[in-house]
Structure 1
Amino acid sequence: MRRAERLHALSEMLRRTGARGVSAERLAREFEVSVRTVKRDLDALESSGAPVWSRPGPGGGYGLSAGASLPPVSLSPAQAVALMAAVSAAPEAPYADLATAGIRKIVDVLDPKTRERADELAARVWVNTAASSSRTIRSALEEAMSEQRVVRIRYTAGDGSTTVRDVEPVLFASTSGQWYLVGWCRMRDAIRWFMVSRIERATVTKAVCAGHTIDEVGEPPANAKPVHGGRV
């Protein structure tokens, strides 16, 4: 593991451990380096502006101050391309446009050599995706979800029937290659799944959602997980 990658992983591990902290010995075992190397890395993080704290004695260790943000960290070319590929392959995903802009910001602040290598590697990854649904519709659904406001949709079901419904958004779900808006349908007084590609129009209303939760949707399949599924 290159040092830049190790520093990033180290800062992430310190963030995850929270107030309990972690010992230098454990960090050394985790990254397969010496305790001396770990302490040099911790000094480097602190010098770069990371809010690293240390607590001596039994039960002590290192951590990051609560509520503090991390300084910019470097990505490897492969990590940068992995992010670009994931977003490019899923243009229908909620907030995909924001993700693309965010990744571009990250790539733009990489050191020139790393950015050049990332661009070269990115040229070796091709993505062919289907035509995207209306950006206007997706923006309305994203806004309704973020602001927890009722969204009025014109929806054509699989049998060809078209209805206009007020929906309280609960979650977005992807299954079998399709994205769904899952929410409380005020017309049916029940949780319903709406395939995004069948939504012909969407308008965010001023009505605030009543507070329906994901628990009302039911248990997700065993192979399903939230997008932060890798978080500790």
Structure 2
Amino acid sequence: MNRTERLYALVEELRAAAPRPRTVGWLASRYGVSRRTVQRDLQALMETGVPVRMEAGRTGGWFIDRETALPPINLTAAEALAVAAALAGAEQSTPFSAAGPAAMRKLAAALGESAAEEVRALTDRIHVLPARTAPGVLPVIEQAVARQRVVWIRYADSAERESEREVEPGGLLTASGSWYLIGWCRSRRAGRGFRLDRVLAAELRDEPCPAREMPALDHDLAQRVRRADTLRSLSRERGTK
């Protein structure tokens, strides 16, 4: 068993035993390695964000917090490459992408050596030029959508006219390389789409908002995006003739 396989096995053993702890000595005997090696492996798992914890005392040991860990997922090689490509292609301005590097490390650790090497080789060939978003905006938008909280934004439209809005978020939409916050704009009393790279500032409110259906909120925006995509496609077709 190589180190990658042992790290994965340690996580599975601790998850299966939870909430009972396992001692370093027990784990060392289980996997035929030294106590120092097990201690180093457990420390490495903690550093990569795996919810591994240590409980001191005579009946203590190492355990994993089941409430903060997902159950094991068995991926085929093709599925692992699809996940790896999606993670590698997520630029810094993509919502919820901050956890991507840690997820990539865990994915590689869960794969066999040959599959992990194939994943690493693929991600080395994927390069993304990130779009610009104002500092601190993206985490606020992520929380507003995930927690269904009202968000205040300062927004610049395509003519660079600035306005302040309170928005009840419905969700996120990506189209033509841009990300949009779709929500109910209290100022306009209508559904609106706000391009994230035009949001200049954002603050999360404590006020919860009602759940709103995305199709009702993004209908106009979706129509504009489809028209723009159609025009671009026609332009490309004319250029190739």
83-92 vs 196-205, which deviates more?
A: 83-92
Residue number in structure 2 paired with 1:102: 103
Task: Give the AA of the match of 1:141.
Answer: I
Aligned counterparts of 1:108 and 1:73: Cα–Cα separation in 2: 13
> Does residue 161 in structure 1 map to residue 181 in structure 2?
no
Distance in 2 between the 1:127 and 1:104 partners? Answer: 18
- Matched-pair contact (CA < 8 Å) for 2:150–2:169: yes
Q: How far did residue 172 of structure 1 move?
A: 0.8
Write the letter of the residue equivalent to 2:114.
K
**1:147 aligns to what?**
147
Paired residues of 2:131 and 2:197 also in contact (CA < 8 A): no
Contact 2:172 2:182 in 1 (8 A): yes
Alpha-carbon distance, 1:218 to partner: 5.4
Provide the secondary structure at the position in 2 that maps to 1:97. coil
Counterpart check, 1:82 vs 2:89? no
TM-score, reference length from structure 1: 0.58
Distance 1:104 1:185, change over 3 A: same
Identity percentage over the alignment? 29
Deviation, structure 1 residue 181: 0.6
Aligned equivalents of 1:202, 1:218: Cα separation in 2: 20
Show the counterpart of 2:211: 211
Q: Which runs of 5+ in 1 are unaligned?
A: 1-68, 225-232
Runs of 4+ in structure 1 displaced over 6 angstroms?
none
Deviations 1:181-215 (A, max 9, x none): 11001111111111110001111100111332224
Q: CA RMSD in A?
A: 2.5
CA offset digits 1:30-51 (Å, max 9, x no partner): xxxxxxxxxxxxxxxxxxxxxx
Q: Which has the higher helix share?
A: 2
| Structure 1 residues 212 and 79: alpha-carbon distance in aligned structure 2, compared to 1, 3 A threshold | closer
Q: Can you give the 5+ residue segments of structure 2 that lack an aligned partner in the other structure? A: 1-69, 227-241
Task: Letter of the 1:197 partner, please give it.
Answer: D
**Cα offset, 1:90, TM superposition:** 3.1
Distance 2:75 2:193 in 1: 40
| Change in 2 beyond 3 A, CA 1:74/1:158 | closer
Structure 2 residue aligned with 1:26:
none
Deviation at residue 178 of structure 1 after TM alignment: 1.1
Deviates more, 1:94-103 or 1:191-200: 94-103
Asked whether the equivalents of residues 133 and 199 of structure 2 are also in contact (C-alpha less than 8 Å), the reply is: no
Residue type at the aligned position of 1:146: A
Q: What is the TM-score when the length of structure 2 is the normalising length? A: 0.56
User: How far apart are the structure 1 equivalents of 2:130 and 2:118?
Assistant: 28
Match of 1:202 in 2: 202
Letter of the 1:97 partner, please give it: A
Q: SS where residue 140 of structure 1 aligns?
A: helix
| Alignment: residue pair count | 153
CA distance in 2, matches of 1:72, 1:214: 30
Q: Residues 145 and 169 of structure 1 are in contact (CA less than 8 Å); yes or no, is this contact kept in structure 2?
A: yes
Matches within 5 A, 1:103-182: 103-123=104-124, 125-134=125-134, 136-182=136-182
- Residue identity opposite 2:213 in structure 1: T
Does 1:193 find its partner at 2:193? yes
Maintained 8 Å contact 1:150/1:207: yes
CA-CA distance at 1:148 after TM superposition: 0.2
